[in-house]
């Protein structure tokens, strides 16, 4: 997905500004731009809470920490820390398979930690910024057990089942899926709906 998260944050800040601006008294001389102090951390946290709440609307979802929700056992969605923790989002720990909504390992992230469960459909999970996770993934890192393979699937548009697009061996990564092709030569970006974790 290529939508910029900063745009959403900007909208949230505009909302705070609108809510806190004090109208000038009638007849007062036109004032300079009002100096409104906006605490960026407070604004950002409201956005994180909205993102978390959206994910918690999924049946069985549980909040793990400030930025993380466990969607199903062993599968987690983490939203970026808006105060600057984006670099840590790129960390995909050992025994994890990580998928991001943006290229370059940024944006909301899904982490799968359990192998051998077959095809896991994450498409219906609520996406933190609205909509669902289907067709959002743009970068992937496979840091599962060295030498294992994980597969990535697209739900066929004719409803006829899963298309296996491509497999990725651990350790390995695809930094920008818009530059990768599926095994059949078709595009990969903003298309994946399910994974098979080693």
Q: Which residues are registered as beta bridge partners of 182? A: none
Interface segment toward Ca ion; rule CB under 5 A; list 26-34, 138-146, 148-156, 157-165: 148-156
Instruction: Tell me phi and psi for residue 30, to 5 degrees.
Output: -55, 125
Residue 135 touching Ca ion (CB under 5 A)? yes
Mask: binding to Ca ion, 22-61, rule CB under 5 A, as x and -? ----------------------------------------
Residue 44 or residue 165: which is nearer to Ca ion going by CB? 165
Query: Which one of 79, 154, 195, 197 is in contact with Ca ion (CB under 5 A)?
Result: 154
Residue 180 touching Ca ion (CB under 5 A)? no
Interface segment toward Ca ion; rule CB under 5 A; list 20-28, 38-46, 50-58, 152-160: 152-160
Residue 181, CA distances (Å) to 25, 46, 188 in order: 61, 38, 6
Residue 193 touching Ca ion (CB under 5 A)? yes
Q: CB 70 → Ca ion: shortest distance, Å?
A: 23
Q: CB 62 → Ca ion: shortest distance, Å?
A: 26
Dist. CA 23–CA 45, nearest whole Å: 26
Three-state DSSP class for residue 119:
strand
Residue 129 touching Ca ion (CB under 5 A)? no
Dist. CA 195–CA 80, nearest whole Å: 22
Instruction: Tell me phi and psi for residue 196, to 5 degrees.
Output: -120, 110
Which residue, chain included where needed, has tokens 């669902």? 132
**Residue 152, token pair as written in the block:** 């990535």
Residue 190 touching Ca ion (CB under 5 A)? no
Residue 102 touching Ca ion (CB under 5 A)? no
Residue 109 or residue 191: which is nearer to Ca ion going by CB? 191
Surface-to-core class of residue 173, CB atoms within 10 Å of its CB (0-12 exposed, 13-18 middle, 19+ buried): middle
C-alpha 11: how far from its chain's center?
A: 18
Task: Catalog residues that contact Ca ion under the rule CB under 5 A.
Answer: 135, 154, 191, 193
């Amino acid at each position: 997905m290529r939508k910029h998260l900063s745009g959403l944050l900007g909208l949230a800040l505009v909302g705070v500004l609108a809510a806190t601006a004090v109208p000038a008294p009638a007849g007062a001389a036109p004032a300079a731009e009002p100096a409104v102090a906006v605490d960026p951390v407070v604004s950002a946290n409201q956005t994180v809470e909205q993102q978390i709440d959206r994910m918690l609307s999924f049946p069985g979802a549980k909040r793990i920490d400030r930025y993380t929700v466990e969607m199903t056992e062993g599968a987690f969605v983490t939203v970026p820390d808006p105060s600057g923790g984006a670099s840590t989002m790129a960390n995909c720990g050992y025994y994890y398979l990580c998928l991001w909504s943006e290229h370059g390992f940024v944006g909301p992230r899904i982490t799968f930690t359990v192998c051998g469960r077959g095809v896991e459909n994450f498409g219906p999970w609520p996406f933190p910024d609205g909509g669902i996770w289907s067709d959002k993934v743009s970068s992937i890192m496979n840091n599962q057990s060295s030498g294992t393979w994980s597969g990535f699937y697209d739900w066929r548009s004719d409803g006829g089942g899963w298309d296996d697009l491509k497999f990725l061996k651990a350790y390995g990564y695809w930094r920008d899926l818009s530059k990768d092709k599926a095994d059949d030569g078709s595009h990969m970006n903003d298309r994946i709906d399910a994974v098979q974790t080693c």
